[in-house]
């Protein structure tokens, strides 16, 4: 069972539809104790880093998510991926969940539109269970104004948009997709299918 964290900072409709299409059992959770029963966790997110962290804090989910990430797979999507890092810089510095070393900074893409919206080609980095079955150069759908700044050893996929942008990151059983797998056609569904097959 996949726990999809519903904390008021994500559009869950497309994600839940994709999980249903893949026949991956899931449940929406909003309370810390509900995380205990899950085999894995997805943390979606849209909006601003600071606002999302405040919502997680007010729901009492920050420490439980940190504890659960030590023993079961966790996937952050879009803003949810950014929250996995130590710090965000949107509207001032804000502490993140600290599950992956690094911080989240504004995209610097002179001459290009920010936010970055659309399909972008990705390139492989470090080996990762979620990229098995994917070809080099797969395209995924992005919508974001900020990017992760982290070490190469955590970057499983990267893309280019004025600068190198981590597209898929991993550390232990913690994974983060800057793109929206649920809106990225067959390649995105493969990411979700691979995540659904991970074990505690």
- φ and ψ at 42, to 5 degrees? -115, 130
Does residue 182 have an active-site annotation? yes
Q: Which helix (H) or strand (E) holds 53?
A: helix 49-58
Among residues 90, 116, 144, 180, the one annotated as catalytic is 180
Give Cβ neighbours of residue 111 (< 8 Å, ≥ 6 apart): 162
Does residue 78 have an active-site annotation? yes
Report in angstroms the alpha-carbon separations of 87 from 46, 90, 105. Answer: 17, 10, 9
Among residues 90, 116, 144, 182, the one annotated as catalytic is 182
Among residues 78, 90, 138, 144, the one annotated as catalytic is 78
Catalytic residues: 78, 180, 182
């Amino acid at each position: 069972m996949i726990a999809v964290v519903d904390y008021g900072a994500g559009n869950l409709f497309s994600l839940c539809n994709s999980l249903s299409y893949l026949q991956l059992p899931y449940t929406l959770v909003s309370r810390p104790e509900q995380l205990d029963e899950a085999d894995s966790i997805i943390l979606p997110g849209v909006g601003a880093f600071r606002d999302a962290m405040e919502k997680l804090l007010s729901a009492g989910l920050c420490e439980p998510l940190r504890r659960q990430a030590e023993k079961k797979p966790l996937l952050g999507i879009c803003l949810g991926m950014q929250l996995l890092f130590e710090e965000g810089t949107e509207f001032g510095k804000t502490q993140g969940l600290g599950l992956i070393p690094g911080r989240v900074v504004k995209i610097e893409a002179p001459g290009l539109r920010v936010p970055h919206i659309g399909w972008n080609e990705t390139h492989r980095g470090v080996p990762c269970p979620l990229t098995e079955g994917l070809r080099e150069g797969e395209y995924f759908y992005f919508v974001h104004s900020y990017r992760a700044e982290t070490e190469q050893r955590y970057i499983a996929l990267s893309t280019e948009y004025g600068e190198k942008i981590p597209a898929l990151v991993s550390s232990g059983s913690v994974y983060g997709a800057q793109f929206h797998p649920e809106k990225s056609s067959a390649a995105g569904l493969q990411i979700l299918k691979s995540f659904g097959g991970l074990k505690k």
